[in-house]
Structure 1
Amino acid sequence: MRVLVVEDDPQLGPWLRDALTVAFGSSDMVTSLSEGRAAVVVQNFDLVIIDRGLPDGDGLDLLPDLRLQRPRPATLVLTALDDPTDIARALDNGADDYLAKPFEPIELIARAKAVLRRLFLDIGAVVSIANLRYDVVNRAVYIDQRPVVVPRRELAILEAMVRRAGRVVLRETLEVAAYGFDDDVSSNVIESHVSRLRRRLREARCNVAIKPVRGLGYLLSGE
């Protein structure tokens, strides 16, 4: 899962990015409306957290751009304004939810999961392949109904392949899923993650295969 934070506060922004990375996977942060527009052009996001008071405009002005994305990301608007009129304006403009500052971390994560759960109702929040089951919203892996702990970057790679099961997933797609805009990525890091992921699934007696497709990427399917 990929998350974008559009927040110019130098303390809140990095904190949001780090908290959302732990909860949902790879997260990126931009600090202006123009940077947000540029980010959604080059990358698809599952969840976008938007501050209202940005240096170059109202964060609500990003919502029309997000409505054009396919698939459309879930959106959660943050603001210091808690007037009912402002809340109604955000929701009328297409925001999935609205959270007034200050807020507790547990509430932010719960609200984000709720909007993601509503969004994934249409495309399936749980994906099953052979004896593997993946809960997209909670980022939980089960094999034969038993929970399996998978490290963050391996989990991001597994999710990208599970959501495209039976299709070739390009190496570049896996790199984007596991790493943010500012991360340095070595040439063979995806291969290393996939190798460890294969071993982890095999040890858990998972009946899925991750096959390399030479020059392209990988294909995940039930054995």
Structure 2
Amino acid sequence: MRLLVVEDNAELVAMLRRLLEQSGFAMDHAGGVEDALLMLRTGDYAAIVLDLGLPDDSGLSVVRELRARGDGTPVIALTARGAVTDRVAGLAAGADDYLTKPFAPEELVARLQALLRRAGAIVDRVLQCGNVRFDPATRDVEIAGAATLLSARELELLDLLVRRHGRVVPKPTVESQLFGIDDDLGSNAVEVYVHRLRRRLASAGATAEIVTVRGVGYMLTARGA
């Protein structure tokens, strides 16, 4: 799952990138409100970690714009100001949770996981399509009862498809979840990873297959379903 971190402190951004990647998340970064709003208009994120004290405007303006257009993406607000009035203002603007700096890294991860679980982006049960089983908590994959190793992006793609198996996932959604804003993408980057995962599934004897819905996107379905 891809997160957007909106923060202007380079040292904190570097720490958050290490922390989130170690916890199985992918991360894009914006250093201010203007960049954040542009990225949110063009990308799809599972959650946002948002500093409220940004150089060009208050982070609350990001939350207000999201909520005004009906976007319910979970937001954790970060701030160095811990007064009750500041926390109330953040929550009233539409933030889902609030963390005062400095904070324990493991607490941020726990709060993110709780928010995503509440939003339905993380489920505790093992997901299955055909004989392909995926555990969202451990990131373990089994095909026909055998443990199967996938690359990080193959895992992200399987995660995205198996959560929505039987439904079409639009290609722009696949692209935004697999690749960061700074990735140098070829014109067929998504197709390359879809092809690789298809080949992995087939070689392991999977009864689930990735179907291309031309002009729309991709769908994971059990063969014969």
Q: Same fold (TM over 0.5)?
A: yes
2:208 and 2:62 mapped to 1: Cα distance? 40
Shifted more, 42-51 versus 69-78: the winner is: 69-78
Give structure 2 stretches of 5+ with no counterpart: none
1:35 and 1:20 mapped to 2: Cα distance? 21
Query: How do 1:135-174 residues align onto structure 2 when only pairs under 5 Å count?
Result: 135-136=135-136, 138=137, 140-143=139-142, 148-174=148-174
- Cα 1:116–1:169 change in 2 (3 A) is closer
1:20 and 1:37 mapped to 2: Cα distance? 21
2:156 and 2:52 mapped to 1: Cα distance? 29
User: Which position in structure 2 is the counterpart of 1:91?
Assistant: 91
Give the TM-score normalised by the residue count of structure 2: 0.81
User: Which position in structure 2 is the counterpart of 1:206?
Assistant: 206
User: Which position in structure 2 is the counterpart of 1:178?
Assistant: 178
User: Which position in structure 2 is the counterpart of 1:54?
Assistant: 54
1:182 and 1:139 mapped to 2: Cα distance? 27
Shifted more, 48-57 versus 197-206: the winner is: 197-206
Percent identity for Structure 1 against Structure 2: 38
Q: How many residues align?
A: 221
Give the TM-score normalised by the residue count of structure 1: 0.82
1:92 and 1:145 mapped to 2: Cα distance? 48
Query: How do 1:1-223 residues align onto structure 2 when only pairs under 5 Å count?
Result: 1-68=1-68, 72-120=72-120, 126=125, 127-136=127-136, 138=137, 140-143=139-142, 148-202=148-202, 204-214=204-214, 217-223=217-223
Give structure 1 stretches of 5+ with no counterpart: none
Cα distance, 1:71 vs structure 2: 6.0
RMSD: 2.9
- Cα 1:198–1:62 change in 2 (3 A) is same
